[in-house]
Chains A and B, each alone.
Chain A
Amino acid sequence: RKEVEQDPGPFNVPEGATVAFNCTYSNSASQSFFWYRQDCRKEPKLLMSVYSSGNEDGRFTAQLNRASQYISLLIRDSKLSDSATYLCVVNLYGNKLVFGAGTILRVKS
């Protein structure tokens, strides 16, 4: 079983749509969790950290369920500029960062 698994993509959605990505991790001792965004042929960049209490940053909401070992990212009112690959990242221990395969989002007008 992979350490971090994500929904297969691509997700093709119209502008204004709400889209949700899911991610599961296998190591229950994992310490912290993140969503990174990667634009085509660019390097990954941190989108947001994920906390058990849930956190929101504008149109983006991240949730963590430690009992189910499940992480989610919700994007509301999708924009064309949201088109990218979204990477689920788990800090196993000591800042060992493990990436999922990524989910491609395409927002169309």
Chain B
Amino acid sequence: EAGVAQSPRYKIIEKRQSVAFWCNPISGHATLYWYQQILGQGPKLLIQFQNNGVVDDSQLPKDRFSAERLKGVDSTLKIQPAKLEDSAVYLCASILTGGTEAFFGQGTRLTVV
């Protein structure tokens, strides 16, 4: 079974630039998450989707971050404009409907300079 796919693996951008990350969850997984993990910290939930609807985005900095999952399958997370403090690993995860185990992608490591 294919795992959660994320791209790109690494991205370096200058502050105030824009960046987008892509995630394709495991087939059939209705719940999709985007987490931000800053070095030395645990993953912080940015947004949770159930199919193509947003379940929770209370910690998403909506002035600069946006995410969508238009067809209830793959998802994109965008940052515009980026700040230095956005440097982190962005992890996508998914859960099968009725399941409890979250499967994570390898993440995108973002460096803002």
Interface residues of A (CB under 8 A from B): 4, 32, 34, 42-46, 49, 87, 91, 94-102
Contacts and interface: CB of A to CB of B under 8 A. Distances in A.
A51 B41 CA distance: 25
Given A44-B43, A99-B44, A94 B55 contact: yes
Assign chain B's interface to a size class: 20 to 34
Contacts, number: 46
A99 B43 CA distance: 6
Contact of A49 (B31, B44, B100): B100
26 contacts: A4-B42, A32-B100, A34-B100, A42-B106, A44-B102, A44-B104, A46-B101, A46-B102, A87-B43, A94-B50, A95-B48, A95-B55, A95-B100, A96-B48, A96-B56, A97-B33, A97-B45, A97-B102, A98-B45, A99-B42, A99-B43, A99-B44, A100-B42, A101-B42, A102-B41, A102-B42
A interface, over-half SS: strand
A49 to B, nearest CB: 7
Nearest to A85: B42
B95 interface: yes
Contact of A43 (B42, B45, B91): B91
B95 A43 contact: no
B25 interface: no
B102 A43 contact: no
Nearest to A103: B42
A44 to B, nearest CB: 5
B41 A91 contact: no
A53 to B, nearest CB: 16
